[in-house]
Structure 1
Amino acid sequence: MDIYLKELLDREQIRNLRTLYAHLLDGNNIAALDQVFSADAVVEVTVGKMEGIEAIQSGLNDAFKLYDRDHRENYPFMHAITNHWVQLTGPDTAQGRCYLIDFETASKPDPNPLLLLGIYADEYTRIDGEWRITHTRLEVVWPAGS
């Protein structure tokens, strides 16, 4: 396969991880996050640092319950992922960043649905032929102090 075509396909597969993450988390399919994260992944987000897929699933499940104030069991928030930049750093490694626009859809006293603006800084590894996020850190840009 042409090297440029392979790199293009790798970048697209990597970008798809964040899109899949948003759909799985927002749709309350947290058990399927092993399609996004490696078994030993590290996730650093507003609800804390989680190490390993089981801790990630547990921590994000707790966050989901916290925001599901209307008990709809899906989409209490919506993670819009944009401006995804990916740099291949080796044949099976990459790094990237993307913007997060995080909306709350559950009822709350403040009618503004915007929860936060942030940047995901990710590291990726190809494991058994499939790309996975191995480390991610959410940098909250707004609101300040989050």
Structure 2
Amino acid sequence: MTLDDATNERRQAVCDMEAIRQLRRRYAFSMEAGRLEGLDDVFAPHAQVIASTTTMSGLPAIKVSLEAGCSELEAPASRQRPFAHALVRHDIHLAGDGTASGRCYVMDLGAGPISEPETAICLKAFRDEYRRIDGKWRITQTVIEPV
């Protein structure tokens, strides 16, 4: 491997990790805006989300479950959600074969029902599996763990 090859390989790894970090950012912005169609650019069509009480399999099921789970949080007369996501400590491991794994912490700020005016903070760990599909990174599995 030449120095140019090694430099290009490192450059590609940095680009891949940033593209993967963007998946969680797009997830957060889509959820906060109530635009779940944005999740089409985050999850693979066959993705699976595993939470403590449920498993969602396939993008349509993920959208339905997230919409139902957020409906009580929705602000009146608006699709804007009354919470924000803070993403921290996103660690990514590239496998080198078009797959990767990662973990990050997600803080839901103001995650309580709209009828409860106090701000709630909910901290969760997201363990993700990623795959490059048609040249774009997508989440294929997420395991959500309370912290």
TM-score between both structures, scaled by the size of structure 2: 0.87
Aligned to 1:33: 39
The correspondence of residues 1-146 of structure 1 with structure 2, limited to 5 A, is 2-45=8-51, 48-68=54-74, 70-104=76-110, 107-109=114-116, 111=118, 113-141=119-147
CA shift, 1:45, in A, is 3.0
Aligned-CA RMSD value: 1.8
Question: Whose helix fraction is larger, Structure 1's or Structure 2's?
Answer: 2
- Residue aligned with 2:79, SS: coil
Question: Aligned pair count?
Answer: 140
- Residue aligned with 2:116, SS: coil
Aligned partners of 2:40 and 2:116: how far apart in 1?
35
Aligned partners of 2:134 and 2:31: how far apart in 1?
24
Q: Which amino acid aligns with 1:108?
A: S
Aligned partners of 2:36 and 2:102: how far apart in 1?
23
Q: Which amino acid aligns with 1:28?
A: G
Moved more, 78-87 or 102-111: 102-111
Question: Structure 2: which 5+ runs fail to align?
Answer: none
- Residue aligned with 1:90, SS: coil
Who wins on radius of gyration, i.e. which is larger?
Answer: 2
TM-score between both structures, scaled by the size of structure 1: 0.87
